[in-house]
Chain A
Amino acid sequence: AQTIHQWPVAEIKAVGSPLSLGCTIKGKSSPNLYWYWQATGGTLQQLFYSITVGQVESVVQLNLSASRPKDDQFILSTEKLLLSHSGFYLCAWNWGGGEQYFGPGTRLTVL
């Protein structure tokens, strides 16, 4: 069975500080991977997706970047956090299109 793990579970960071959020998929090779963001009280917004190692497509940037250093790993990062980055970050995967499966999410608070 496939499992998706996100880290950290929650993070409180200062404006201007760097950020790195991680996502790992186990039990599925060559998945499509996705990053989503949900502002507090807002709706899901797809940020990035990746269909293979080293390849990332940006949907909405929000001054964030993403990388896929390994087949099973997807990283979301920024060198300088903004207050507007606060929210809930979700990683998701699918394979060959179709239904996406979401991870547990990371709640980010920027102060």
Chain B
Amino acid sequence: GDSVTQTEGLVTLTEGLPVMLNCTYQTIYSNPFLFWYVHYLNESPRLLLKSSTDNKRTEHQGFHATLHKSSSSFHLQKSSAQLSDSALYYCAPNSAGNKLTFGIGTRVLVRP
């Protein structure tokens, strides 16, 4: 089945500095969808970004990611972190239609 590797554990950074969360995946499917979900405390996870197009940058809410099929990567970036970006971030490939394989999740804490 699919698998995904994310930046592990807690990422602590200062407001205004750039953010980069790594995500690499494995799938036998040649055209997977890749997702980044964000999970804020006391809320439900929601979609942040998605892509199935190779080498095309996708952006939302100041975050961006580019799917690179050659390296099986979908890293999440933001040029300037905000306090409100503190949350749990999940990378997830979806190639089987019904099974979304979430990564272990990366907890981001942005400090003033």
Number of residue pairs A-B, CB distance < 8 angstroms: 45
Docked CA distance A99–B48 (Å): 10
Instruction: Indicate if the CB atoms of A100 and B105 lie closer than 8 Å.
Output: no
Complex interface bits, B18-57 against A, C-beta within 8 A gives 1, otherwise 0: 0000000000000001010001000011110010000000
Docked CA distance A57–B97 (Å): 13
**Size band of the interface chain B makes with A:** 20 to 34
Instruction: Given A90-B45, A102-B45, decide whether A97 and B105 contact each other with a Cβ distance below 8 A.
Output: no
Ordered nearest first, which 5 A-B pairs have the shortest CB separation? A97-B97, A102-B44, A43-B105, A44-B102, A43-B104
Chain A residues with a Cβ under 8 A of chain B? 32, 34, 43-46, 49, 51, 57, 59, 90, 96-100, 102-105
